[in-house]
A and B are shown apart, each in its own frame.
Chain A
């Protein structure tokens, strides 16, 4: 069963624009993680934000976490064609890491 639900399911933007993806979840978490999956490849970890953190940055990535609303967002700034991929949020608890169904991002030239 999915803990995280991403929104939107698909997003198409032009190169240079910003892309925002959202993740909502239902129960208390220790952390929330974001992963990227290029077509035909395995998932790659992007960033982990702990439940006591509100914002985290890594290069062109900015992640926010609002535990009161049980939601997180991933912002990719100045997108590139190479950012085209599926993005998954995953909620981490003491017993497991549960993945959502993903947002498919298409960045066009």
Chain B
């Protein structure tokens, strides 16, 4: 593979259920990000990771958690999904340093999540 892959492509989820969105990159980028994209609101940063073993909160972190056990994988977990988490979720990565805005970001194809 080349770039970033996300799984699943789409998912319909009942409210209250737990869900993990998967993200894997093969570019050996240090920094990784999770965004949600909602109509009229653009992309909003949920969580980020500067490097393996570290994570941080973005603009809209509530209801979400992340982990970064290694360089390649950055899963996003919704512990108890709510309808307001219905959105399209994008994973992205960039070269260092950290999560500065100095470099371009590479995006995955997205996961369309519907919470009923």
Contacts and interface: CB of A to CB of B under 8 A. Distances in A.
Interface in A38-71: 40-45, 48
A95 B105 contact: no
Contacts, number: 63
23 contacts: A1-B59, A30-B100, A31-B101, A42-B90, A42-B92, A43-B90, A43-B107, A88-B43, A90-B101, A92-B100, A92-B101, A92-B102, A92-B103, A95-B99, A95-B100, A96-B45, A96-B100, A97-B94, A97-B100, A97-B105, A99-B35, A100-B42, A101-B40
Nearest to B48: A96
A85 to B, nearest CB: 13
Interface in A3-62: 29-31, 33, 40-45, 48
A33 B104 contact: yes
Interface residues of A, number: 27
Interface string B67-104: 00000000000000000000000101010000111111
Nearest to B94: A97
B105 A45 contact: yes
